[in-house]
Amino acid sequence: MCKIIYMKSDLHIVKIGGNVINDEVALTSFLKDFASIKGLKILVHGGGKKASEMAEKIGLTPRMKNGRRITDAANLEVVIMVYAGLLNKNITAKLQEQNCNAIGLSGADANSIKAHKRIVKDIDYGFAGDVDKVNDTALKVFLENSLTPVFCAITHDKNGQLLNTNADTIASEIAASLASSYNVHLVYCFEKNGVLKDINDDDSVIEDINSKSYKELKQKNIIADGMLPKLENCFYALHKGVKKIIIGNPSVIVTKDQKYTSLTV
Amino acid sequence: MCKIIYMKSDLHIVKIGGNVINDEVALTSFLKDFASIKGLKILVHGGGKKASEMAEKIGLTPRMKNGRRITDAANLEVVIMVYAGLLNKNITAKLQEQNCNAIGLSGADANSIKAHKRIVKDIDYGFAGDVDKVNDTALKVFLENSLTPVFCAITHDKNGQLLNTNADTIASEIAASLASSYNVHLVYCFEKNGVLKDINDDDSVIEDINSKSYKELKQKNIIADGMLPKLENCFYALHKGVKKIIIGNPSVIVTKDQKYTSLTV
């Protein structure tokens, strides 16, 4: 009997945050490294401080609650302009320069990420979107045609409304949706070397975390605040079939010489 | 002998200008009509007054010369934000609402339109881009996967630089590049009913123009000013193999009950 075994291709999904985006030199260097990753890849980028700067320039006051932006209609216009326009297209053009065939996308494009406006409980986050579904069929069309999707953190509700969505969540939702089709390597890049035991000691990286040790780290309050939603996103993706997730500084995508955090289910 | 005849598919390429974009009700109505076009289609949109409004809000003075925008670095940021961000993503989301599987694109995305910074002769237009090449391979991937490309008037130079490009030109260059693969129907929608004999009489539509009559109309100064570059773009596309071009008000894409101008080579 003949058995055909389909080997899954590797797919790297990398998320970069604001600190890289805010620094022109660091961004250019990161994009060179990202372009050098062989094979299939997807980039997800956060917003950086440019949206707040632009909002202030046009006389708006950015409002935050629990580290998340309150997106009223005027601020929504600003984040669409900055995330989906300025940042997304500049990143795409810079990747094209590096011969990486990037395609900049919001969730509205090719209906790639459908979301709904966050339901008001204690806080009204305005036009904030919680993801319903990633259109893996559309993403596969791009990947199989050697395109590299570059996602900004804007989604839509399929009823004509654009929504501001957390970029960490977008990365984990994309990873989860593609885990059955590819060997997904999900990497979260940020300004630290990984998840730290002591927030003031960049060398105190917790090198391995799994579901069990995560529970303990939470109970002991070693992992808290802004790191919690990031790790919740990670374990969501791991439970959906992503094999391994790395959290580290941007150089982790090309070298494993430095410390970083590795997450498994 | 058996001969296989490949039938070309129809492809509608529609360009809408600023006046439709500036009017929320007119835009929504137009997008419903556009979504109802059966088969393959591409939308190209201009900028409207939103970019100038935004530039003024952040303290920039928009500069024009011969009806064209002078795009310095600060104004380039604004047009990228407004054209590729705000307008392009809102149009895409509204088409998705109409079950048209739109994908918003700049020329940097999928390297779809490569341009070069306009060479300075008498006037320095700044970061204005003149088109070198439309990537018809990328466009065919989108069309053959039932996606509807929605182009804003931003291109790139493949060296990391985004450029502001005339939307009429983008429409004609896309039409020209796809004329050998599809039966291209190119439609320019604007605020008038067509090319007018008398600019003050909206009923004085010149219903048919070909290369010969165009020459005469120019000599008699009946066609002049802003209409000249539009028609130059049209005849460029016609000479590149586009069979017919229509110029008219936005309703022309769904009904031929009113007058409009039809251009042939």
pLDDT score at B4: 72
Give CA separation, A188 vs A21, B58, B165, in Å.
14, 34, 36
A113, A173 Cβ separation under 8 angstroms: yes
What is the helix, strand, coil percentage profile of chain B, to 5? 35, 25, 35
For residue B233, pLDDT beyond 80: yes
| Contacts (Cβ under 8 Å, ≥6 apart) of A158 | A111, A114, B96, B97
* pLDDT digits 0-9 by tens, B73-121: 999 999 999 999 999 999 999 999 999 999 999 999 999 999 999 999 8
If one counts every other C-beta atom within 10 angstroms of the C-beta of residue A224, the result is 11
* Chain B residues in contact with A156 (beta carbon < 8 A): 92-93, 96
Query: pLDDT means per 10 residues in chain A (265 residues)?
Result: 79 93 93 97 92 92 77 95 98 98 98 96 92 98 98 98 97 98 96 92 95 95 88 96 95 91 96
pLDDT score at B139: 98
* CA separation for the pair A211, A217 (Å, rounded): 10
What pLDDT band is residue B203 in, cutting at 50, 70 and 90? very high
Nearest to A89 among B102, B138, B154 (CB): B154
pLDDT score at B63: 80
Task: For residues B186-212, give the mean pLDDT.
Answer: 94
A157, A117 Cβ separation under 8 angstroms: yes
ipTM over 0.90? The verdict is: yes
* pLDDT digits 0-9 by tens, A218-231: 999 999 888 899 99
Element (H, E) at B261: strand B261-263
Q: Which CATH architecture is the domain A9-263 placed in?
A: 3-Layer(aba) Sandwich (3.40)
Q: DSSP letters along B136-191, please?
A: HHHHHHHHHTT-EEEE-SEEE-SSS-EEE--HHHHHHHHHHHHTTTEEEEEEEE-S
pLDDT score at B1: 61
Q: Which residues of A lie closer than 8 Å to B, measured between beta carbons?
A: 54, 57-59, 77, 80-86, 88-90, 92-94, 96-97, 101-106, 108-111, 138, 141, 145, 147, 154, 156, 158-162
| Contacts (Cβ under 8 Å, ≥6 apart) of A117 | A127, A128, A129, A157, A161, A163
Largest Cα–Cα separation, chain B: 71
For residue B179, pLDDT beyond 90: yes
* CA separation for the pair A178, A12 (Å, rounded): 11
Closest CA to A245 of A214, A208, A191: A208
pLDDT score at B237: 97
Closest CA to B134 of B179, B193, B73: B179
Substitution target from A43, A58, A82, A103 for chain B, most B beta carbons within 10 A: A103
pLDDT score at A122: 87
For residue B6, pLDDT beyond 80: no
Residue type, B161: Q
Task: For residues B21-45, give the mean pLDDT.
Answer: 96
pTM of the model: 0.96
For residue B43, pLDDT beyond 80: yes
